[in-house]
Structure 1
């Protein structure tokens, strides 16, 4: 699968954390801090970070407290005073905005993702017919909420790509897209249910544009759902940015570095994420 992130500036600016990632080996982690490390991460990282944090705790003795949510909403919470020490976003824009305000290091990309279409069993679409399916008047297209959640921003990037292939597609998709998740007021699924599996199970959309990792997880929860890859002409790559609070303890730097080491990268890639 091809990943096409727009991260040139963030990658160049992220040398500081990148060097930490290259120089910090898990066996050289500093003495564990008594207080749990506060890690805020995009909701799409829940499964991966839960496993990575568990392994990190076992290896270093450092407790890790995980907070998940839409990246834009997490950034707003941090700006309002939430005590995050490490922030892993589903894009590079939100961590870059923290860095620009001061007090946070320049972000570095630590993982990649891509969009897929998650469809109901009534929708018969292939990569070649997906755009025509999205444009059908009888097909409800679900997305996450732009600005609050990068997944929504990537969906609108797809709409712009669609307009290059079929003029007028952007206006149609922009008008019809249902912002069902990722917003401050978006309904939350019941405990134990995955967001996208629940949304599709409730028949709130016929097609939902989300990360491929989310789509695969939703299909595992609700097997009747279908996952359709986007054609190359519509694909929008997602680059995940990582930043550390400037005054965070050494344990935060160690965790950020560990995310770029082979053990954590193996977890991410096993769950469908791309290499940095």
Structure 2
């Protein structure tokens, strides 16, 4: 009787194990095709590597300015997941049909990255930006949400100091994020390279980009925006309608604890 009970227990355990394995989704032979904002490069590269190791599912990552990526998708490129630095670009895909409405999966903030020749604090930042001798670098509006967020800052500045918008709109240097913007040399971060080259005295970019640039070029400084100029960025995640189950699973994983730990470890905010 004892041997019969042990055998029955073993059979039940094997059946449970078999059931668990059959329930686990199989990895697709085709990679999940993810188009993502350039500011997500380090985070999503790390997340995808971990995801591949855990699931066996390959992930193909394409990075760039969100507006330019949206244009490429509209022209027929086969993205299955779109991780944008705003919600507007994935929402435009959804409005045109063929994509699900985006959900916010992480957040960011705008910061000022300054050269070591600029002595700016949050309280003096607006005066620094308006100084005729200070060159202000931005990304390219409409092509890259980082540029759109910079122009939001300019509009906020106008409510603090009338006329500031016109001054900043005229002087801002659109140094990256556009269709003709030169890429950084291999192994260099875009913002560290541009500041190292002396292309701007202050660069308005995401705080995560600014911190990464300072790690690469320690003499650079990161200045937080004052409350009256603060601009936040909600990152939107869209999935193509009819995308393979593997793509849906990867998109879902970006809101789960493992991915969120990577994002927040690099300075991104929780989706809320």
Count of residue pairs brought into register by the alignment: 249
Alignment match of 1:254 (pick from 249, 254, 270): 249
Alignment correspondent of 1:266 = 261
> Structure 2 matches for 1:16-55, cutoff 5 A?
30-55=25-50
* Correspondence 1:91 to 2:86: yes
Alignment correspondent of 1:19 = none
Alignment correspondent of 2:192 = 197
How high is the TM-score relative to the length of structure 2?
0.91
Question: Matches of 2:77 and 2:253 in 1, distance apart?
Answer: 23
Alignment correspondent of 1:109 = 104
Q: Which residues of structure 1 form unaligned runs of 5+? A: 1-27
Does the 8 Å contact 1:78/1:84 carry over to 2? yes
Alignment correspondent of 1:170 = 165
Structure showing greater relative contact order (alpha-carbon pairs closer than 8 Å, 6 or more residues apart): 1
Question: Matches of 1:177 and 1:93 in 2, distance apart?
Answer: 23
C-alpha deviation, 1:206, in angstroms: 0.2
Q: Which residues of structure 2 form unaligned runs of 5+? A: 1-22
- The residue matched to 1:193 in structure 2 has which SS? coil
Question: Matches of 2:195 and 2:224 in 1, distance apart?
Answer: 17
> Structure 2 matches for 1:125-140, cutoff 5 A?
125-140=120-135
Alignment match of 2:149 (pick from 132, 148, 154): 154
Alignment correspondent of 2:214 = 219
Q: Write the deviation string for residues 65-107 of structure 1: whole angstroms up to 9, x where unpaired.
A: 0000000000000000111000000000000000001010000
Q: Write the deviation string for residues 89-141 of structure 1: whole angstroms up to 9, x where unpaired.
A: 00000000000010100000000000000000000000000000000000000
Alignment match of 1:230 (pick from 225, 246, 252): 225
C-alpha deviation, 1:30, in angstroms: 2.4
C-alpha deviation, 1:247, in angstroms: 1.3
Question: Matches of 2:260 and 2:80 in 1, distance apart?
Answer: 21
CA RMSD, Structure 1 to Structure 2 (Å): 0.7
Alignment correspondent of 1:61 = 56
C-alpha deviation, 1:29, in angstroms: 6.2
Does the 8 Å contact 1:88/1:243 carry over to 2? yes
- The residue matched to 1:179 in structure 2 has which SS? strand
Question: Matches of 2:75 and 2:230 in 1, distance apart?
Answer: 34
